[in-house]
Structure 1
């Protein structure tokens, strides 16, 4: 189906009226519009099966999954720089449906979603039925008028998207669903998806776009991610799909039907352990089992990628006189040992973040450094701490882009 769909005049008028009535049903989602929008350029759209979603190609593809320690980008950007790669030379091929996740730095100039969108997390999922994309997040709503907006002018202001695949599902194929989409501040187009199954909504602007706005007119939709194809091909793809609070168990809930097609990643980094180690009843045997099941799933989905496990950094215990100041240091040491051993069974290298930065007690020493490299919670690093760590990582596991 394309942008040129013809609706009966009465139906079109009713839909337009309904569209206007619900436009103010939810709080606005303010993203500044580009000043150089091409007036009247418009876009075409297609509803396609999920298998049609193919990430943008690049000579080198890096995927990073983890928790808040890598979701903020400082660590990865420093690792890129340590490998001789400018951050402006990489672009994402998959953007998470995490517009309402606190602390998540999406690879966008700006993004927002109104309050009626609800986020689901793979690492919190129960049961054995996979239901997540590689972004390990989904956002859903059945409240008319809910909006979201994405501004793609990142990492350079002249970045533009020539095609965007929106990965979605809506329950049963016959469920009602009507969306409204606009690009670069132009007039909305109504997109009826009531007779389509779970899949991909492909937006193809006639002029490469800077911004997209989507509004739920009626029905129920769950969004799993956004796959941009850019006007200019990047030197490398970098997908940072880390989620604050996440645990590696989230990998067990990835649905292969929501996995975009080839190409696969060249390098795959899994950075986990801090949240698993924070459990009051941390069980090393149970942790090893969860890690083994998660890596097995990872290898099913990414059988040929170079895999690197990143252990947790050191962690301290806050308070004036903690009973056991090395409690978390010891747990992190055990987690690191388990990651190294289990990872080798699945062909994964290992980087010991705690050991590489000084071992047990580093958290307190780094918090007292000038400038501080660890935050007062003795769990999260400062921006400088992440940058130092990223450069140390690059010394051991350099990213090697193909030569021009």
Structure 2
């Protein structure tokens, strides 16, 4: 860095200590040399290598880890041997369980969701969520010690872009609690910020000093390469149409997954006037986009589980059960057109009326809203999914 630029950056660091992200657990890392960093083009992002890659997209029913943790265990795969290659920029999203020991973001970060967007052209990475900040002091932190306490990251690629491509942008980044290092990105229009610590790191903290930034995701490369990659990119409230907002230019080297799992339907079925024909057209358009981005992956659609009715709408207790049967039938038929297998969550767990029966089970397998399952319910479902003749994680 040029001397004058370094002095300006240091002065800005002292002036921009705004809202702080809450403290993460200590990393117990000894002091050492500062990390190195590079600004790279999007095509130079480096997803972690693995012999088998699974990508999962869906809504709140798979945004927690219970379902797929149980599926992995039932398939004889140790959860500790599975790591992500893409971590969503979704710190602070309610109900989103990121594959991290801990994470936090100060309130000045603003979250955008692909399924809500109507941008043209598309503007999201495969994580289907992004975080933007323009207030000095906006901070986020990640603790990578998951699923094992000794998990460490030897390189981290951060996908970002700038609202003003030619505008100024200065970040301050620290690794494992060491002194912050200024990172001026004013001359970069956006792409990849690569952080390479001298020794594999447990924690990273990023703070906006000046300018505007939008984060799209994090690509960690671990000290010990995983035998399997599992990227669970589900988001509470999501709809399959979010795939229409994926911009391949944000991650030209989007991993070629061996298996793509799409779990949607509950939120689509909540429409007051569900239209089966309209849903079939919507599904075809969305799956065409999936296949454009993942042409060779094995594909499985997971239909919506059963859903009950509560409150004043209970006069028609089977309303959503019937809609979910229609969605399941459409997914089965349309999915086959795109080479996708289908797993009937509602049918496999008991068919229409299951939501109420599971809510009355001991222990309960369905929450009182008759839409979301309990942790035990997701685990039971995950084991059923793994045992299905259409799907075996251990096939690789």
TM-score exceeds 0.5: yes
Per-residue CA deviation, residues 309-367 of structure 1 (Å, 9 max, x unaligned), is 00000000013882110000000001111111111111000000000000000000000
Contact 1:54–1:260 at 8 Å: present in 2 too?
no
Aligned length: 394
**Pick from 143, 152, 157: which aligns with 1:160?**
152
Per-residue CA deviation, residues 210-269 of structure 1 (Å, 9 max, x unaligned), is 000000000000000000000001110000000000000000100011235164111110
The within-5 A match list for 1:237-256 is 237-256=229-248
In structure 2, how many angstroms separate the alpha carbons of the residues matched to 1:333 and 1:350? 13
Residue 193 of structure 1: aligned partner: 185
Q: Which stretches in structure 2 are left out of the alignment for 5+ residues?
A: none
In structure 1, how many angstroms separate the alpha carbons of the residues matched to 2:307 and 2:41? 45
Q: TM-score, normalised by structure 2?
A: 0.97
Per-residue CA deviation, residues 354-398 of structure 1 (Å, 9 max, x unaligned), is 000000000000000000000000000000000000000011111
In structure 1, how many angstroms separate the alpha carbons of the residues matched to 2:278 and 2:46? 36
Which 4+ residue blocks in structure 1 deviate beyond 4 angstroms?
none
How large is the RMSD of aligned CA atoms in angstroms? 1.3
Residue 16 of structure 2: aligned partner: 22
Shift of residue 129, structure 1, vs aligned partner: 1.6
1:297 equivalent to 2:289? Answer yes
SS of residue matched to 2:386:
helix
Residue 349 of structure 2: aligned partner: 357
1:373 equivalent to 2:372? Answer no
Contact 1:92–1:238 at 8 Å: present in 2 too?
yes
Residue 205 of structure 2: aligned partner: 213
Residue 340 of structure 2: aligned partner: 348
**Pick from 143, 147, 169: which aligns with 2:161?**
169
Residue 47 of structure 1: aligned partner: 39
Q: TM-score, normalised by structure 1?
A: 0.95
Contact 1:55–1:260 at 8 Å: present in 2 too?
no
**Pick from 127, 131, 134: which aligns with 2:126?**
134
1:399 equivalent to 2:393? Answer yes
In structure 1, how many angstroms separate the alpha carbons of the residues matched to 2:236 and 2:393? 24
Shift of residue 30, structure 1, vs aligned partner: 1.8
In structure 2, how many angstroms separate the alpha carbons of the residues matched to 1:165 and 1:117? 20
Contact 2:96–2:235 at 8 Å: present in 1 too?
yes
**Pick from 27, 38, 61: which aligns with 1:34?**
27
In structure 1, how many angstroms separate the alpha carbons of the residues matched to 2:119 and 2:166? 26
Residue 52 of structure 2: aligned partner: 60
Per-residue CA deviation, residues 85-104 of structure 1 (Å, 9 max, x unaligned), is 01111000000000020010
